[in-house]
Amino acid sequence: LTGGFRTARAMVDAVTDGTTDGIGLGRPTTAEPDLPAKILRGECLSVPDAKLDQDDYMLTSTASNAQMWQMGKRSFAELKNVCDDIADLSDPKEAENFKKAAATYYKEMKETAERNEAIHGVLMYKNVA
């Protein structure tokens, strides 16, 4: 167990009490790539509060893949902030828009599979803001 932690306190406690040797921050860092550095510097105490069902692995995985796609659209040199262009799914309006886009994407994936075609790529999500 290394993932699923949402607060710095829970992360520290899990390592300190021997529950785990390390902390996984995979999905949260797709929303905020500099999150581990911010936590270590004491600038934040928790991961972004994404307004998605965290128990819905398909949805959160789709969100993370879409956010990684968004990160790759521009070079780092073009950004003012490493979070530029990445969907802020802690914003309820953005999260609702994403859920609608994901539902459409899943329907398209299902239709592709029913045609016995390979499913590839990611949801190329366009942010509300």
* pLDDT for residue 4: 87
Q: Which segments of the chain have a pLDDT < 50?
A: none
* pLDDT for residue 1: 64
CA 29 to chain centre: 6
Owning domain of residue 23: 1-48
* pLDDT for residue 110: 97
Kindly report the pTM of this predicted structure.
0.89
* pLDDT for residue 20: 93
Domain match, 41 and 69 both? no
Q: 19: how many CB neighbours lie within 10 A of its CB?
A: 12
Domain match, 63 and 114 both? yes
Domain match, 59 and 87 both? yes
Count of domains observed in the chain: 2
Domain match, 125 and 89 both? yes
Domain match, 35 and 70 both? no
* pLDDT for residue 2: 80
Domain match, 65 and 25 both? no
Domain match, 70 and 17 both? no
* pLDDT for residue 19: 93
List Cα–Cα distances, 103 to 15, 26, 47, 59, 66, in angstroms. 37, 23, 25, 9, 13
Are the C-beta atoms of 67 and 87 separated by less than 8 Å? Answer: yes
